[in-house]
Amino acid sequence: MRGDEALWYDPEPGDWQRENVLRAAAACPVQAMRVEQAHFRDDSRVPAAAHGDADAFRRTGRIVIVGASLAGLKAAATLRHEGFTGSLTLIGDEPYEPYDRPPLSKQVLDGWVPAQRTALPVPGDLDARWRLGVAAAGLDLARKQVLLADGEEVGFDRLLIATGVRPRPWPDPAQAALDGVFVLDTRDDAARLQERLAAGPRRVLVIGGGFIGSETASVCRDLGLPVTVAERGPAPLVGALGRVIGAIAADMQRDHGVDLRCGVFAKALAGDSSGRLCSAELSDGSTLDADVAIVALGSLRNVEWLDGSGLAAGPWGVGCDSGSRAFTLDGMVTDDIFAAGDVARFPHPLYNYQFLALQHWGNAVAQAEIAAHNMISAQTDRWPHLAIPSFWSTQFDTEIKSVGVPSFADEVVITQGSAADRRFVAAYGHRGRVTAAVAFNQAKWLEFYQSLIERSAPFPPDFRGVDEPADRRPVPAGMPDQPIPGDQATVEVTGHNPGERRTALVRRRHRPGARLPQQRRDRHGPAQSL
């Protein structure tokens, strides 16, 4: 447990200790532990009006959720909580009941919490059919069937897509298969990596300096392991926080003894005769001896199972409206198909209605709640997903927390505290209004900045307050361009008459050995643009 404002992580809050968990949550500096989900929440949100159809659906409808993780579980719990008594099926390709991922790169990796003790609390009265360990392989919209990899078909009236993302793999499969090369996504990944780190490797190479890469590097340093971070960009965390704040993160890493190499990427991994990783070739021509490599190159969305379904699902995620209803490839909104969590991509009014693809814990929870509510509500009772995005990260004795969308910014200014002390708040602006803020060990102020974002307050924020830095001049935030991940797929429109025009998805296969895309998308980083 590190950081000024230590995050109390409580694995598996059992029933008897839920009070303690509630308290821990109340005390949780980053308010990240949203425990009211599942069985802790019993205040009834009474549906506004009784609408005949919606009512009948609530009683006897069939809902299928694909992706049995944070968003899927949260949606399921919300459905029941809001009075859905019909049939509920959760399909997940992992063999486990839902568990929480954020601790995997933190408390699990440093050995503080065992990987299997990250389960999310499942309400006792969820009354769901679980199909775990089997992937959804296809979707037939016309027949309203989900096709499973084992051949089964599962019929639904309404469907929630919550299949999340997976790590972008190391591009060369043979190199990726070397013993010692890891990605970090599942609880098994974390358990294996934890074991390997605990065994004391000579050097760990972290490929990619995004949040997951930085957090793993931080754990390595806590464990006293020599670690090199190879980051293609000018600093760690640039994709999410920009160059200016990224430079502070870089100093932080170096102060903690990380061998941080920016502007450098790993070109190839090499193994010894028994297939064990022994070194990596870097783009600056150097060779680095390392027996563990953690590939943290951002993520890919789990959408392949939707190929051919006619939904707007591609490398950019599953497009949906702010009420979580999925779009078809043609850009029309569906009524029975919903999406939530890391896989979803939705327009946010505060960000010029651009589509956001957020890979944040809090977003998965909030959006799942909205999706579930809307799945069983009449048109007029539906809610938009307008939460201000927020995420946190723990690394190098620092709690980093942000509100808003920092990458949606052209300028940044430190408004409180001191970057040199690594305790500060920075506000981000886009064309003269506040769009985000990030705090390093100063999370308690962020509610104020959230209200500035909600009000589209002018940037730079102009106020006299506590702990004012000497210099309050905004500087360019140094955000890399973040085009949508369109390098692997595109669409084509065909047909002439309005009644005939249709869109088709065209996937491009990645050529083996091709360069990694210049702009990685970090797992936490949002992408915008339509």
Ligand X SMILES: Cc1cc2nc3c(=O)[nH]c(=O)nc-3n(C[C@H](O)[C@H](O)[C@H](O)COP(=O)(O)OP(=O)(O)OC[C@H]3O[C@@H](n4cnc5c(N)ncnc54)[C@H](O)[C@@H]3O)c2cc1C
Site residues, other proteins (CB under 8 A): 1-4, 6, 8, 10, 16-17, 19-20, 22-24, 26-27, 36, 40-43, 415-418, 421, 423, 425, 442, 444-448, 451, 463-467
CA gap 114, 272 in Å, rounded: 31
The least distance separating other proteins from the CB of residue 118, rounded to whole angstroms, comes to: 14
CB atoms within 10 A of CB 63: 25
Asked if 212 touches ligand X (CB under 6 A), the answer is yes
CA–CA distances in Å: residue 259 to residues 68, 213, 288: 38, 13, 11
Give the tokens for residue 215. 């957090």
Asked if 161 touches ligand X (CB under 6 A), the answer is no
Q: In DSSP terms, which residues pair with 458 in a beta bridge?
A: 433
Which secondary structure element, helix H or strand E, spans residue 174, and what is its range?
helix 173-176
- Among the listed ranges 78-86, 87-95, 412-420, 464-472, the one in contact with ligand X (CB under 6 A) is 87-95
**248 binds, options ligand X, other proteins, none, Cβ within 5 to 8 A by partner type:** none
306: three-class secondary structure by DSSP: helix
Range list of β-strands (E), 216-303: 227-231, 259-262, 266-271, 277-282, 287-289, 292-295, 299-301
Of 181, 189, 173, 68, residue with least CA distance to 129: 68
Asked if 214 touches ligand X (CB under 6 A), the answer is no
Task: Identify whether the C-beta of residue 35 lies closer than 8 Å to the C-beta of residue 74.
Answer: no
Phi-psi domain of 324 (left: phi exceeds 0; alpha: psi -120 through 50; beta: other): left
Asked if 38 touches ligand X (CB under 6 A), the answer is no
CA gap 414, 409 in Å, rounded: 14
Q: What DSSP string describes 7-43? A: ----SS--GGGHHHHHHHHHH-TT----TTTGGG---
CA gap 442, 446 in Å, rounded: 8
The least distance separating ligand X from the CB of residue 52, rounded to whole angstroms, comes to: 32
Task: Identify whether the C-beta of residue 102 lies closer than 8 Å to the C-beta of residue 363.
Answer: no
The least distance separating other proteins from the CB of residue 381, rounded to whole angstroms, comes to: 20
Asked if 197 touches ligand X (CB under 6 A), the answer is no
Range list of β-strands (E), 156-203: 158-161, 165-167, 181-182
**447 binds, options other proteins, ligand X, none, Cβ within 5 to 8 A by partner type:** other proteins
The least distance separating other proteins from the CB of residue 36, rounded to whole angstroms, comes to: 5
**421 binds, options other proteins, ligand X, none, Cβ within 5 to 8 A by partner type:** other proteins
- Among the listed ranges 4-12, 227-235, 356-364, 499-507, the one in contact with ligand X (CB under 6 A) is 356-364
**40 binds, options ligand X, other proteins, none, Cβ within 5 to 8 A by partner type:** other proteins
Give the tokens for residue 193. 């990596």
Asked if 341 touches ligand X (CB under 6 A), the answer is yes
**315 binds, options ligand X, other proteins, none, Cβ within 5 to 8 A by partner type:** none
**227 binds, options other proteins, ligand X, none, Cβ within 5 to 8 A by partner type:** none
**492 binds, options ligand X, other proteins, none, Cβ within 5 to 8 A by partner type:** none
Give the tokens for residue 348. 């946010």
Asked if 522 touches ligand X (CB under 6 A), the answer is no
The least distance separating ligand X from the CB of residue 401, rounded to whole angstroms, comes to: 9
Looking at this protein, which amino acid is placed at residue 28? C
The least distance separating other proteins from the CB of residue 23, rounded to whole angstroms, comes to: 6
CA gap 269, 250 in Å, rounded: 24
Give the tokens for residue 230. 């190879």
**445 binds, options other proteins, ligand X, none, Cβ within 5 to 8 A by partner type:** other proteins
The only residue of 7, 33, 64, 66 in contact with ligand X, by rule CB under 6 A: 66
Asked if 105 touches ligand X (CB under 6 A), the answer is yes
Asked if 71 touches ligand X (CB under 6 A), the answer is yes
Q: How many CA atoms lie within 13 A of 263 on its CB side?
A: 4
**61 binds, options ligand X, other proteins, none, Cβ within 5 to 8 A by partner type:** none
Nearer to ligand X among residue 54 and residue 135 (C-beta):
135
Total residue count of the chain as it appears in this document: 530
**156 binds, options ligand X, other proteins, none, Cβ within 5 to 8 A by partner type:** none
Asked if 120 touches ligand X (CB under 6 A), the answer is no
Query: Which stretches of the chain bind ligand X, using CB under 6 A?
Result: 66-72, 91-94, 101-102, 104-105, 135-136, 162-165, 184-185, 212, 302, 305, 341-342, 359-362, 364, 391-393, 523
